[in-house]
Amino acid sequence: MQDLLRSFGKEIKTLLQPLLPNEYFSWQTLLLLSLFSLFMAAAVESTGESNPWAVALLTNFSWIFFISAIWWALKENPIEIFRFSINPWIIGALICLFLFNPWTDDTRFRWALTCWPLISMGVLALPQFVDWELRLKQRSQSTNKTLVMTTLINLLLSSWILFHFRVQDWVNHYPSLLASSLEQSSFVYDFDQGRARQAQGIPLLESMAVEITEELNEQPWYQTERWLYTRDSQLETIFQRAKELLDAPTEGKFWQVEVPQALRPVDEGYLLDLTVNWTGPASREGRLFVQKTCKILPVDRSSAVSMQADAQPTSRSTFVDCGSELALQRLRK
Q: DSSP states of 311-331 as a string?
A: ---EEEEEEEE--SSPPEEEE
Q: DSSP states of 249-276 as a string?
A: GGGGGGEEEE--SSPEEETTEEEEEEEE
Strand ranges for the chain from DSSP E = 80-81, 84-85, 255-258, 264-266, 269-278, 287-302, 314-321, 328-332
The rounded distance, in Å, linking the Cα atoms of 268 and 287 is 34
Asked if 36 and 139 sit in the same domain, the reply is yes
With respect to residue 292, please indicate whether it lies within any of the assigned structural domains. Answer: yes
With respect to residue 312, please indicate whether it lies within any of the assigned structural domains. Answer: yes
Side-chain half-sphere exposure of 52, counting CA atoms within 13 A: 0
Q: What is the CA radius of gyration of the chain?
A: 35
Asked if 160 and 210 sit in the same domain, the reply is no
With respect to residue 195, please indicate whether it lies within any of the assigned structural domains. Answer: no
Asked if 282 and 226 sit in the same domain, the reply is yes
Is the link from the previous residue into 265 a cis peptide, with omega within 30 of 0? no
Residue 307 pLDDT greater than 50, yes or no: no
With respect to residue 235, please indicate whether it lies within any of the assigned structural domains. Answer: yes
Report the SS3 class of residue 267. Answer: coil
Q: Give tens-digit pLDDT for 121-143.
A: 999 998 888 877 778 888 888 88
Residue 309 pLDDT greater than 80, yes or no: no
Residue ranges making up the domain that contains 241: 201-332
Asked if 50 and 98 sit in the same domain, the reply is yes
Among 293, 295, 297, smallest CA distance to 273 is for: 293
Region 189-212 average pLDDT = 78
Q: How far is CA 265 from CA 130, 190, 275, 296, in A?
A: 84, 44, 18, 10
Region 185-210 average pLDDT = 75
* Strand partners of residue 265: 270
Number of structural domains, the chain? 2
For position 305, what pLDDT does the model report? 46
Place 278 in a pLDDT band, splitting at 50, 70 and 90. confident
Region 36-61 average pLDDT = 86
> pTM score > 0.75 for this model?
no
* Strand partners of residue 168: none
With respect to residue 258, please indicate whether it lies within any of the assigned structural domains. Answer: yes
Asked if 289 and 169 sit in the same domain, the reply is no
For position 235, what pLDDT does the model report? 92
Side-chain half-sphere exposure of 19, counting CA atoms within 13 A: 11
Among 204, 176, 206, 171, smallest CA distance to 190 is for: 171
Region 288-316 average pLDDT = 69
